[in-house]
Amino acid sequence: MEMDPAAITTPKIKTENLNFFYGGFHALKNINLNVHEMQVTALIGPSGCGKSTLIRLFNRMSDMTPKTRAEGKIMFEGGNIFDAKTDLVKLRRNIGMVFQKPNPFPKTIFQNISYGPEIQGCKDKDFIYHRVEESLKKAALWDDVKTRLHSSALGMSGGQQQRLCIARALAVEPKVILFDEPCASLDPISTAKIEELILELKKNYTILIVTHNMQQASRVSDYTAFMYLGNLIEFGQTDRVFTVPKDKKTEEYLSGVFG
Amino acid sequence: MNSLKERLIKYAFTAMGYLSLLLLFGIMAVLFIESRPAVKELNILNFLFGPQWRPARTPAEYGILPLIAGSLSVSFGAISICVPLGAGAALYLNELAGETQRRVLKPVIEILAGIPSIIFGFFGLVAVAPFLQETFNLPVGVCLFTASIVLGIMTIPAITTICEDALSFVPRSFKEASFAMGANRWQTLTKVTIPAAGSGICTAIILGIGRLMGETMSVLMVAGGAAVIPKSIFSPVRPMTAAIAAEMGEAARGSMHYSALFLIGLVLFLITLALNILSEHISKKYRLKLGQGR
Ligand SMILES: Nc1ncnc2c1ncn2[C@@H]1O[C@H](COP(=O)(O)OP(=O)(O)O)[C@@H](O)[C@H]1O
Ligand SMILES: [Mg+2]
C-alpha cells in the first residue's frame, strides 16, 4: 500500500508551478515536485524530456545559459531561490552538483578537493587537509588515492574521477546533492560503486539523481519522478511507480515501449 | 581508388611537402656555409660575448653582445607592453564581452595582426619618437623605449589571438564545476580558467618573443641603430636583425664582415628555433593535460 510521501518525510525542495523557457521553447511545463529530505529521488524519462533542465534549476546553473526564463517558484529552506535576494554562492554551497561527465579540474587530487574550502576563504592548512581526507573517505576514494594526493586528477580512471567529483562536492558540506546522469560515461563496475556510494550518502544528504537507466532508478531511489516532454507525468515512491504505475505513459516507458 | 589521377595528385602534394623541407635545409645550408669563415676565423666566444661591434674599423671588432643585448632588451620591453595588454584583451573578449562585441572585436583584432610592420615603423617614427623626444627631453627620439612601444603594440593582436584561443580551449565543464561549488566569476577566472589556459598563454608569450626577435623592418626604423649595450631605456640600440639589414648592403661579398653577418643570422635562427621548440613542447603538454577534461 502506498502511503502519502509527504507524510513520511518532509520536502527539502519544493517546486511550485515551475515553468522554464529556452527563448521561445517551453522546456518545463508547470512542474510541482517535492524532493524529500534524506531520501533519493530519481528523475527518469526519455532523452530530451527536460531532466537536465530541471535539475540545473535547483542550483540555478541555468543562469549560465543565456536567453532563458523561469516562472514559478522553487522553495528551499523557506525562500524562493529565484528571489532577487537569494545568495547564489550560499545556494550553491547548500546544493552541490555532480555532472554527467567527470569534470575534475586539471589540478592535483588534493587541489581538486581543497578548491571548495579555499574559495570560501579558508586558509587553515590543517583544517583543509582534514576536510580533504574526510571528503575523500566519504566518497570511498581515500584508500585508492591516499598515497598520491599530489598527482594529477586527470591520471585517474573515469570512475575514480567521478568519485573525486563527488568528494569535491562534499567538501563544501552541501545539504543536497544533484546528480545529472553520473554514470552515463562509466563502465558497469564503476557504476555499481557510484550507486553504492549514493546509498551510503543518503544517510546524510538529500539526493536528486537524473538517470537514463531505469534499473538504476529502481536500485538507488526512494522516490521516482517520471517526466515526458517537459511535463512531470508521475511522482511517487519508487516501488509503487515501478510496480503499479498510475499513468499509461509511465507504464509504457517502464516497459520499454519507448525510451 | 588507385587511378592514375589520384596517384598523380598524391605525388604532387608529397613533392610540395618535401619542397618546403628542402628549402628549409637549403637556407640552413647557406647560413652554415656563408658563416664558416667567421666561425673559423673568429673565436666563437669572443664573437658571442665581445662587447664591441665595429666591423668597419681597422682592425675590425666582431663582438655581437651589443646586438644580442639590443634584441633581448627590445623584445623584453615589447613583451612587457604586449603581454598585459594582449592577455587583458583576450580575457575581456573571452569572459566579459557580450556576443555582439566579440563578433565585432575579434575580426578587427585579426585585421590588426595583418598590418605590415613597416606601417608600425612609420607610426613609431612620425608619432611615437617625436612625442617621446619632447616629453622626456631626449637627444634622439628613436631608442630602446620607442622600439619597445612600437613592437609591443604591433604584437598585441598576435598575443590576444593566441591567448583567446587558449582561453576558449578551456572546457566549459571546468567552469561549470567551479560555479556549481559557489565560486564567483573572479575566483573561477583566476583559479580555474587562467591556470588551465596557462600553458597556452606561455606558448603565446614564447612565440611572441620569437617573433619579436626576428622582427626587422620596424626596429631598423625606430630602435636608433647604435651598436652599444643599452645603459637606459632611452639608449638607442641595434638589434641583430637591424644590424644584418643595415650592413648587408655595404659588406663586401666574401669579406669577414659579410660572413660575420651570416653568423649573426645563424645565431638568430638558432634562438628562434629554440623558442619554437620550447613552445611546441609546452603546448603539447597542455593538450595532454586538457584532453580528458572535455
Ligand atoms: N541550451 C539550450 N537551448 C535550447 N534548448 C535546449 C537547451 N538545452 C536543452 N534544450 C532543449 O530542452 C529540452 C530538454 O533538454 P534536457 O533538459 O537536456 O533533456 P534531458 O536531460 O531530459 O535529456 C530538449 O528539447 C532540448 O533540446
Ligand atoms: Mg540530460
Chain A residues with CB within 8 Å of chain B CB: 59, 61, 64, 66, 88-93, 96-97, 99, 101, 103-107, 115-116, 118-120, 152, 154, 165, 168-169, 172
Q: What is the pLDDT of residues A91-143, one digit of tens each?
A: 999 999 999 999 999 999 999 999 999 999 999 999 999 999 999 999 999 99
Q: How far apart are CA B100 and CA A245, in angstroms?
A: 49
> Which residue has cell 662587447?
B51
Would you kindly state where each structural domain of chain A is located, as residue ranges? 5-104+177-254
CB B93 within 8 A of CB B160: yes
Residues of B in contact with A170 (CB under 8 A): none
Determine whether the interchain pair A154/B293 forms a contact, defined as Cβ–Cβ distance below 8 Å. yes
Q: How far apart are CA B189 and CA B174, in angstroms?
A: 10
| pLDDT band at residue B288 using 50, 70 and 90 as cut-offs | low
Query: A210 CA to middle of ligand 2, Å?
Result: 8
Q: How far apart are CA A27 and CA A50, in angstroms?
A: 6
Question: What per-residue confidence (pLDDT) applies to B81?
Answer: 94
Q: How far apart are CA A64 and CA A62, in angstroms?
A: 5
Determine whether the interchain pair B173/A99 forms a contact, defined as Cβ–Cβ distance below 8 Å. yes
How near does any CA of chain B get to the CA of A253, in Å? 31
DSSP secondary-structure letter at B224?
B
Determine whether the interchain pair B173/A120 forms a contact, defined as Cβ–Cβ distance below 8 Å. no
Ligand 1 shell residues, CB under 6 Å: A 22, 25, 27, 45, 47-53, 65
Q: What are phi and psi of A149, to 5 degrees?
A: -60, -25
**Chain-centre distance of CA A115, in angstroms?**
20
Beta strands A11-22; A68-76: pairing state: antiparallel
Across chain A, mean pLDDT equals: 93
Contacts 24+ apart (CB under 8 A), A21-30: A21/A68, A21/A69, A21/A70, A21/A71, A22/A53, A22/A65, A22/A67, A22/A68, A23/A67, A23/A68, A26/A230, A27/A53, A27/A230, A28/A53, A28/A54, A28/A57, A28/A230, A29/A229, A29/A230, A29/A231, A30/A72, A30/A231
Please tell me the residue having the least CA distance from ligand 1 atom 6: A22
Q: What is the pLDDT of residues A196-247, one digit of tens each?
A: 999 999 999 999 999 988 999 999 999 999 999 999 999 999 999 999 999 9
**C-alpha cell at position B193:** 580558467
CB A160 within 8 A of CB A136: no
Taking the Cβ of residue B192 and every Cβ of chain A, the question of whether any pair is shorter than 8 Å is answered with: yes
Helix axes A188-201, A158-170, angle to 10 degrees: 20
ipTM value > 0.85: yes
- Which of A105, A157, A208 should be substituted to probe chain B, the one whose Cβ sees the most B Cβ atoms within 10 Å? A105
| pLDDT band at residue B290 using 50, 70 and 90 as cut-offs | low
Q: How far apart are CA A247 and CA A34, in angstroms?
A: 18
Q: Minimal CA–CA distance to B272: which of B200, B199, B201, B213?
A: B213
Residue of A nearest to B197 (CA): A106
Residues of B in contact with A93 (CB under 8 A): 181-182
Question: What per-residue confidence (pLDDT) applies to A166?
Answer: 96
Mean pLDDT of B235-256: 92
Out of A61, A96, A168, whose CB is closest to B176?
A61
Helix (H) or strand (E) holding A29, with range, is strand A25-31
> Which residue has cell 516532454?
A229
Q: Minimal CA–CA distance to B174: which of A245, A11, A74, A103?
A: A103
Q: Minimal CA–CA distance to B193: which of B224, B171, B226, B162?
A: B171
Mean pLDDT of B220-238: 90
**C-alpha cell at position B293:** 577534461
Out of B182, B289, B291, whose CB is closest to A89?
B182
Question: What per-residue confidence (pLDDT) applies to B280?
Answer: 86
- Which of B96, B173, B286, B292 should be substituted to probe chain A, the one whose Cβ sees the most A Cβ atoms within 10 Å? B292
C-alpha separations of B162 from B75, B113, B173 in Å: 18, 11, 21
Bridge partner list, A26: A21
Taking the Cβ of residue B190 and every Cβ of chain A, the question of whether any pair is shorter than 8 Å is answered with: no
Question: What per-residue confidence (pLDDT) applies to A8?
Answer: 60
CB B118 within 8 A of CB B218: yes
A5-104+177-254: which CATH topology? Rossmann fold (3.40.50)
How near does any CA of chain B get to the CA of A116, in Å? 6
